[in-house]
Structure 1
Amino acid sequence: MTGPRSWVPVAVTMFGIGWGANQFVSLLVAYRQSAGFGVVTVDGLVGVYAVGLVPALLVLGPVSDRYGRSPVLKVAAVVSLLATVVLMLGGLPALFAGRFLAGLASGAAFAAGSAWVKELSSPPYDTTSPDGTGARRAAMALTAGFGLGPVVAGLVAQWAPAPLVLCYVPHLLVMAAVLVPLWRTPETVDAGHEGGSVLRRMRVTSVRLPRFRRLVAPVAPWVFGGATVSIAVLPGLVASSVTGYEVAFNALVAGVTLGTGFAVQPLGRRLAATDTRRGAGVGALAVTAGLLLAALAAATTSPWAVLAAAVVLGAGYGLCLVAGLVETQRLAPPHELAGLTAVFYALTYLGFAAPVLLAALSAVAPYPVLLLVLAALAAVTALATRRPDPV
């Protein structure tokens, strides 16, 4: 596919890989109930995804800058499909292997795919879209996949027979549908044009730019920091109030969080159109407000307060993601586009540590207090985005 819509198969592939990456989130309660997994085991299944993702991001982003977007994303799509097949086998070894493969697929896809969408949304492929369109398209594709994956998987796991097998079938269908269009998408990187080894390209020099260090890097962890609190922490704190519907409620919270994140991204692009500090600052303020609501939800164990927090934290997720991705793609030279995008995404995944840190610190202080401290840190980040650029 060529022309102004040639970005669509790439974005849909990112949607599918995002679906596969996040479908497991709403199944944590189901695995605890059916397989008797403890907190340490479940945290390990969450963490092994990052073990696969971060190295794949940092290596395969520069690989795609050197050898092309197409081979990296095609392999990622196949690995994402394979990861779900492995997860369907059940059993703890298969679950660890499937989650690791899902991390590899995500790391391969997010940087290379975001760069590919950006390039296909720019001349000569697309001569009409304004600056920042590619970043918004990539962010919306990922967020839609992140949001629908856990919702569909969670609803199937709540009510379908053989729930921990059938819940994965929708992702298989999505990935099967994207493979043929993806194989017809034009490559945007001339592998022979820019020389240099992959090891040299892994030294992404643009991370030293003051704007990246002072704006993008501080905001990036809040992309997933607030969202994972909403999805992975808050439903467990109110489980006693939704007895019998824990899996469905977890899916609902995930859908509300990431659905809101999807809905606010056009606003995020408008805020970032002239100065990404505006989008980043508003996003960090939304995370701050959402964490304050999360503290209220933890104190009252109210499902309604959890849903309110999910809306605001989802808005913070979407705004921070778009602002960070737009600024990253503005700063990156063409030969480091995927490499710098990979660094940005790696920083966003630091936010996945928030639930683990909160669980560890809950022996010292109650969740409402810990969430208030987290809100204060987000507020400091929001203030930091207002600092003027160095002269």
Structure 2
Amino acid sequence: MLAATLLALSLFAVTFAVNLQAPLYSSYVGDSGFGATAVAIAFSAYVVGLMPTLVLLGGLSDRIGRRSPIAVALLLGAFATALLVFDPSWGSLIVARILLGIGTGLATTAGTAYMTEIIGGDQTRRAALAVTSATSLGFGGGALGTGISLSLQGPTFFPYSFAGLFIVAPLLALLMVALPRADDPKPVSLLRLPVFPGGTRSFGAALGLAWSSTGMTIAVVPLELESHGLSEWTGLVIFLAIFVGFLCQPLAKRMSNEIALATGLILIPLGFSTLLLGVWLKSIALVLLGTALSSASSYGFTYLAGLSEFALRAPDNRARATAGLFVYAYVGFSIPVIGSGFLADAIGLFEAMLAFLIVLLTVTAFVAARTSGTWKPQYARSDR
């Protein structure tokens, strides 16, 4: 149990670093001269580091073991954050986001497989819940931690949240290396492509859609809030964009993966529509409600269902299957943000968000229609 706890804490720390700098985006890119485009490029640089890691190194831990990639990911997170302390600029933000992407790719693929091996191969859904809980809290907690730190310290490029990561990450890296081995490394190629198990296309597509709304919430919505004088809510919005999903995971675990997927597909457009209405009416209550609804899908129902289904359908390739799922997720997470950033500078932030909503509604309806006829809902066993 100690090994599972330390692994969960390590996954939390890796993902905590990812959005740690989010409340400072506008400060980092202030002198770049590119507006929303600069934020979109810096935000999506994360995927530039992550996607090659998922595509080429998703099965690396099958060869070298699970512990080392996670330890490296922890150190990369600390180094990327230190770079922003010593050189708080747009260029450094891009480099830091690339390093954070590499770390996330290493940790999530190795960590999912390792957690299943620690808990037991017949407890796939339990292991998936542990991973989704740790990473959801991490992705949301970083932004909230920096937001709270800034409210206590005032404007600074070295908030308390950064200092906390510098202390915890190296310690966890050492503890990860000291954990017992639970896997049996195989003499396979270092470069291993992701696995996309049969019957999982709907789960992957749905997670891509869900994370596209989260990407927009984290990267683009804060810019609109700032334009309305509501920038002090940014940290809470980003935290809710992920934390509410964590709260929904126990409920999602009691459902079959198919029912959780259907629930997520309903919440995706409902959440972003409510959020956009809140932006239009300058109602922070509606913004927070829409963010919470989107989060319930992105890091709750759809996230747990997808991770569990991919692992269940590829028991001999869990690390590579996890990489396959995150390929779907991060394509959705990045492309809309990049497109909306360019569009926002051309026609305006709100108009770009409205265009995204129209595309989101259309594609979600298509995925739901394709999905509805391919499965019959059944209640999941507790050990599934």
Shorter-chain TM band? 0.7 to 0.9
Task: Give the aligned partner of residue 172 of structure 1.
Answer: 166
Kindly indicate whether residue 219 of structure 2 is the aligned counterpart of residue 228 of structure 1: no
Q: 1:33 to 1:92 in 2, by over 3 A?
A: closer
Task: Give the aligned partner of residue 26 of structure 1.
Answer: 23
Tell me, in whole angstroms, the C-alpha distance in 2 between the residues paired with 1:304 and 1:39: 24
What whole-Å deviation, never above 9, does each CA across 1:123-155 have from its counterpart, x for those lacking one? 6xxxxx844000110011000000110011122
Tell me, in whole angstroms, the C-alpha distance in 1 between the residues paired with 2:124 and 2:113: 14
Task: Give the aligned partner of residue 353 of structure 2.
Answer: 367
Task: Give the aligned partner of residue 88 of structure 1.
Answer: 85
Task: Give the aligned partner of residue 152 of structure 1.
Answer: 145
Equivalent pairs counted in the alignment come to 368
* Contact preservation (8 Å) 1:277, 1:385: no
Q: 1:368 to 1:196 in 2, by over 3 A?
A: closer
Paired AA for residue 187 in structure 2: G
What whole-Å deviation, never above 9, does each CA across 1:199-256 have from its counterpart, x for those lacking one? 4xx245x52x43023x222212024112122222333323344x2x51x311010111
Task: Give the aligned partner of residue 379 of structure 1.
Answer: 365
Shift of 1:310: 0.7
Kindly indicate whether residue 71 of structure 2 is the aligned counterpart of residue 74 of structure 1: yes
Q: 1:48 to 1:131 in 2, by over 3 A?
A: closer
Task: Give the aligned partner of residue 313 of structure 2.
Answer: 331
SS in 1 for 2:187: coil
* Contact preservation (8 Å) 2:40, 2:220: no
Tell me, in whole angstroms, the C-alpha distance in 2 between the residues paired with 1:147 and 1:267: 19
SS in 2 for 1:138: helix
Tell me, in whole angstroms, the C-alpha distance in 1 between the residues paired with 2:224 and 2:268: 19
Kindly indicate whether residue 180 of structure 2 is the aligned counterpart of residue 186 of structure 1: yes
Shift of 1:323: 0.6
Shift of 1:171: 2.0
Tell me, in whole angstroms, the C-alpha distance in 1 between the residues paired with 2:275 and 2:11: 30
Shift of 1:17: 0.5
Task: Give the aligned partner of residue 263 of structure 1.
Answer: 247
From 205, 224, 242, give the equivalent of 1:237: 224
Task: Give the aligned partner of residue 126 of structure 1.
Answer: none
Unmatched 5+ residue regions in structure 1?
A: 124-128
User: Could you tell me the TM-score, scaled by structure 1's length?
Assistant: 0.86
Q: 1:262 to 1:103 in 2, by over 3 A?
A: same
Tell me, in whole angstroms, the C-alpha distance in 1 between the residues paired with 2:301 and 2:133: 11
Paired AA for residue 326 in structure 1: S
Percent identity over the alignment is: 25
Kindly indicate whether residue 62 of structure 2 is the aligned counterpart of residue 65 of structure 1: yes
Q: 1:366 to 1:60 in 2, by over 3 A?
A: closer
Of the structure 1 ranges 25-34 and 10-19, higher mean CA displacement relative to structure 2 is found in 25-34
Kindly indicate whether residue 303 of structure 2 is the aligned counterpart of residue 321 of structure 1: yes
Kindly indicate whether residue 121 of structure 2 is the aligned counterpart of residue 133 of structure 1: no
Q: 1:35 to 1:366 in 2, by over 3 A?
A: closer
Task: Give the aligned partner of residue 12 of structure 2.
Answer: 15
Shift of 1:357: 2.3
Shift of 1:64: 0.6
SS in 1 for 2:3: coil
Unmatched 5+ residue regions in structure 2?
A: 377-384
Shift of 1:286: 0.8
Paired AA for residue 178 in structure 2: R
* Contact preservation (8 Å) 1:283, 1:320: yes
Shift of 1:289: 0.9
* Contact preservation (8 Å) 1:9, 1:182: yes
Shift of 1:36: 6.8
Tell me, in whole angstroms, the C-alpha distance in 2 between the residues paired with 1:339 and 1:234: 33
Tell me, in whole angstroms, the C-alpha distance in 2 between the residues paired with 1:104 and 1:366: 29
Q: 1:288 to 1:83 in 2, by over 3 A?
A: same
Tell me, in whole angstroms, the C-alpha distance in 2 between the residues paired with 1:366 and 1:152: 29
Q: CA RMSD in A?
A: 2.4
* Contact preservation (8 Å) 2:267, 2:293: yes
SS in 2 for 1:174: helix
Kindly indicate whether residue 198 of structure 2 is the aligned counterpart of residue 210 of structure 1: yes
What whole-Å deviation, never above 9, does each CA across 1:247-293 have from its counterpart, x for those lacking one? x3110101112110111111122213xxx111111111111211221
Q: 1:195 to 1:182 in 2, by over 3 A?
A: closer
